[in-house]
Amino acid sequence: MRAFISQANEDGRLRLRILLSLLLLSASLYAGAGEWLPLDNDGVHDPSSPAVKRLMEPRDGLSGLAPDDVGNQVRWPQALDQGQINPRTNLLPETKVEVLDKDILLDLYGSMPIVRFPHRIHTLWLNCNNCHEHLFKSKTGATDISMLNILDGEQCGLCHGAVAFPLSKCDRCHSVSRNIPKVKSGGAGEIKETGK
């Protein structure tokens, strides 16, 4: 039984490593794609339609906003924070808008830097019930989150890689160094950097 479990863990780790390598490879091929495609050549719009000339070109709409090197090349949280965009928060007056300014640290014991999940950035765009309770429990550590699930398009991967920045941007989630300052013994509240 134990051999079976450790074999299953090995398989899981191998699969995770292969998936992550493929992801980084495809990201490095994509990087440098650069420009926004014109509407009459984006493979989505019909170039012969007169409507195409009446729509705003993505370059005209997006090039003035906080830049990014992935997705549609806009760093949306910065565009919002810097007041470059001002989206309507609700259609119906009775909709309650709630912004929660609370960071959650995840992946406390892994090999990658710790994941900082910012509630604030998410609740500027989303409602609590976009995530709670069906994706994540409202209790830190209560949900079994894993990178494999995320790469499979579940949990954080439901949005990241689909409508929010892609999973190839590891350090936007794994953003907190494990080299956390240690508390000096005896000195309440005093901290000392564990210098490298």
Determine the Cα–Cα distance for residues 49 and 185; give it in Å rounded to an integer.
72
Question: Interface with ligand HEC includes 90 (CB under 6 A)?
Answer: no
Joined tokens for residue 160: 């990241």
Complex with ligand HEC: residue 46 or 154, whichever CB lies closer: 154
Determine the Cα–Cα distance for residues 176 and 106; give it in Å rounded to an integer.
10
Q: State the number of binding residues for ligand HEC (CB under 6 A).
A: 55
Question: Interface with ligand HEC includes 65 (CB under 6 A)?
Answer: no
Query: For tokens 């007041």, what's the residue?
Result: 83
Question: Interface with ligand HEC includes 74 (CB under 6 A)?
Answer: no
Question: Interface with ligand HEC includes 106 (CB under 6 A)?
Answer: yes
- Given 65, 73, 79, 123, the residue binding ligand HEC (CB under 6 A): 123
- With a CB cutoff of 8 Å and minimum separation 6, the contacts of 60 are none
Joined tokens for residue 131: 């995530």
- Distance of closest approach, residue 58 Cβ to ligand HEC, in angstroms: 16
- Distance of closest approach, residue 14 Cβ to ligand HEC, in angstroms: 12
Question: Interface with ligand HEC includes 142 (CB under 6 A)?
Answer: yes
Determine the Cα–Cα distance for residues 37 and 123; give it in Å rounded to an integer.
31
CA contacts within 13 A on the Cβ side of 140: 12
- Distance of closest approach, residue 8 Cβ to ligand HEC, in angstroms: 16
Q: Residues 142, 47: contact at Cβ < 8 Å?
A: no
Q: What's at 80, amino acid-wise?
A: L
- Given 138, 181, 183, 191, the residue binding ligand HEC (CB under 6 A): 138
- Given 72, 84, 90, 130, the residue binding ligand HEC (CB under 6 A): 130
Question: Interface with ligand HEC includes 141 (CB under 6 A)?
Answer: yes
Question: Interface with ligand HEC includes 136 (CB under 6 A)?
Answer: yes
